[in-house]
Structure 1
């Protein structure tokens, strides 16, 4: 339940300060419940929050004055008086979600209730840091213009990138597919892309957030999202919350000691990534005499019955099974979601063999393994979900700071 006046004890600020604080708490509670419930009436808000109907009315009046909520008609059909419904005002805030990948850059602009109003995908100019930064700036300007907004209208921008943000140096570590981002201060220059507040998150962590909000992880308290593609990474959800670790490096499974070879051969890639990523699949095929331009070529050949390709797929399944065995032993997830180019495009070839091999490698019954239903949009949707939750707090705090009580 939410606080009411009878539950608040003054701590020396006086009755006026206590009443003002309580008023803000009540408004925040009502604001949060409207987000959760959608179109909602005063009686429904009173039941959800435990606040009195007069308190709800005052809070709604203040939120409407601040242009955070709006009335949207009446609920009819029940006996008695029709109830006035309220909803979040969509234009109260805007979130820009950005997925910066090795192959593509994806943008989505959404209003405060999550409705995407503009979307754009482009091949990445990832060979050069400056080129990527210019591309990001151009795409952000194009999307805001398309939506009829100015750059300053963006409440929050969320960037998803590979690697780990080193907050001491402003560099992006462990992101070999984005050359130039490892230089000091590289991340801070993202502030110039829109001029709005921004957050940078690991892309696979965001994919896990997206999976929990919109995909197979919805309602699953313990799951992992394993991305197999150009690179390899994992997002961990424990008790329904993203787990980052002490330095934001939780889920860097590319460095798991899985596969053959010297882990020191390529300092930018871990052992597991060197054998199981797209480049690893191509290299494995080449060692067996098969020339393939992409990992997809190998998987397509395997589907057609090519014996060499089938051997490569078997080795890939073995690497993935051993990596998942370590993950299961430590985290005991209920669900493993496979994403990334390989995880989704080759799911039909990998999930069966991996599922068959896991029981011999783990102590208890293995978790279920499924391919992501979000596909290439997993990171972008995660950035939106993360950004919307944060932006809602930002717009509330700004509105409360500038809007006097009625």
Structure 2
């Protein structure tokens, strides 16, 4: 009865709202099926041919859709194919990596036209990182504007937690990445009016695995990142769970049995002390913890007894933490990712620990996207936001007379 009263008081949607919804459905269909004719859009959406034709006309006037040739080889009226205009806009995705900034600019179909993956960063120099980020994004905005229009969304992946209410980066002690201690909003202020989306790198990796990787068939899973730091992204009921302040999944801070009670950053320290060295703060001139872990894993694959013992201990330690998570959130699947977590030599020791310790052990599998997962996730959320905003932004420009 409450629902009926709410609907009765809501009234019918305005014609303007109906047109906006229709245009969005038509745009989404073109993104999924392009090139596509008006008749095919009507068939796929169930919207009448007349209404689809009016929507396509409006979207052409907004310079969002353009003809892409004529339909040939069939009887009857010749249809016109449509596709999204090449200069309708583009998106930028940036990943602040421990030792570099990775950038990708892509059109609205997700096809990259600019990638930069080897920009050196100075360890523990956030001011330099902020300047470098601004320079790279400014260059990508200028280059993308030549053929693709204006940026419609910019997504930045950072290593630290991000407040889900304000998108502010939250500094935590023992952060392994220098990129997490400055605010991307401040570094990129004034470069573009496109929405800036800032999110934790492990959360974005989980999003990428859900939409494009090994988590596509799971409504709930835990993505465990093992690299220079340790973290976890949680997808529950097909929704990312960042926590009230953005720190859900910071498993590096879990207490574990191998560390004295009250040890800060207990799991990360236990993993480091077991022999990998991951989870430690990289020193400017010190050893690379990821490279050290990979060397141990390589030796283990070759049968080195000492390395095998280290990997077994690491697997037990990480599996103990995962089993704790399973007892709390009961995920359908656990994915291991990151430059160390995705290594096959680590998989079986972790599986064995989870099978032994978890109340109802879920499958433990490697992620499908490797080290590219955070950048893929940033690109995915930027595309989703850009496509959602595309029609309304174009409508505002048309009304303002800017075309």
Using the size of structure 2 for normalisation, the TM-score is 0.84
The reply to whether residue 237 of structure 1 matches residue 235 of structure 2 is yes
Task: Give the counterpart of 1:45 among 37, 41, 46.
Answer: 41
Shift of 1:70: 1.9
RMSD value, Cα: 3.2
Quick one: distance in 2 between partners of 1:102 and 1:109? 21
Shift of 1:101: 1.8
- The residue that corresponds to 2:122 in the other structure is 125
Shift of 1:134: 1.4
**1:277-320 deviations in Å (ceiling 9; x for gaps):** 69962389xxxxxxx97222222222233222222111101012
Quick one: distance in 2 between partners of 1:70 and 1:240? 35
Quick one: distance in 2 between partners of 1:53 and 1:275? 64
Shift of 1:395: 2.1
Q: Is the 8 A contact 1:230 1:277 kept in 2?
A: no
- Classify 1:245/1:199 alpha carbon distance in 2 versus 1 (closer, same or farther; 3 Å): same
Quick one: distance in 1 between partners of 2:253 and 2:205? 19
**1:223-265 deviations in Å (ceiling 9; x for gaps):** 2211001111111222333222222222222222225224655
- The residue that corresponds to 2:296 in the other structure is 298
The reply to whether residue 401 of structure 1 matches residue 396 of structure 2 is yes
Quick one: distance in 2 between partners of 1:23 and 1:283? 54
Task: Give the counterpart of 2:157 among 160, 170, 177.
Answer: 160
**Structure 2: 5+ residue runs without aligned partners?**
1-6, 280-288
- Residue 379 of structure 1: SS of its match in structure 2? helix
Using the size of structure 1 for normalisation, the TM-score is 0.83
- Classify 1:336/1:309 alpha carbon distance in 2 versus 1 (closer, same or farther; 3 Å): same
- Residue 127 of structure 1: SS of its match in structure 2? coil
Quick one: distance in 1 between partners of 2:257 and 2:314? 9
- The residue that corresponds to 1:100 in the other structure is 96
Greater mean deviation of Cα atoms: 305-314 or 104-113 = 305-314
- Classify 1:127/1:70 alpha carbon distance in 2 versus 1 (closer, same or farther; 3 Å): same
Task: Give the counterpart of 2:266 among 262, 267, 271.
Answer: 271
Quick one: distance in 2 between partners of 1:206 and 1:305? 35
- The residue that corresponds to 2:196 in the other structure is 198
- Residue 172 of structure 1: SS of its match in structure 2? coil
- The residue that corresponds to 1:289 in the other structure is none
Q: Is the 8 A contact 2:70 2:80 kept in 1?
A: yes
Shift of 1:125: 2.2
Shift of 1:328: 2.2
- The residue that corresponds to 2:284 in the other structure is none
- Classify 1:137/1:188 alpha carbon distance in 2 versus 1 (closer, same or farther; 3 Å): closer
Aligned residues: 380
The reply to whether residue 178 of structure 1 matches residue 173 of structure 2 is no
- The residue that corresponds to 1:281 in the other structure is 276
Q: Is the 8 A contact 1:119 1:143 kept in 2?
A: no
- The residue that corresponds to 1:252 in the other structure is 250
Q: Is the 8 A contact 2:90 2:149 kept in 1?
A: no
Quick one: distance in 2 between partners of 1:151 and 1:50? 31
- Classify 1:171/1:145 alpha carbon distance in 2 versus 1 (closer, same or farther; 3 Å): closer
- The residue that corresponds to 1:138 in the other structure is 135
Task: Give the counterpart of 2:365 among 345, 361, 370.
Answer: 370
Quick one: distance in 2 between partners of 1:193 and 1:254? 35
- Classify 1:194/1:339 alpha carbon distance in 2 versus 1 (closer, same or farther; 3 Å): farther
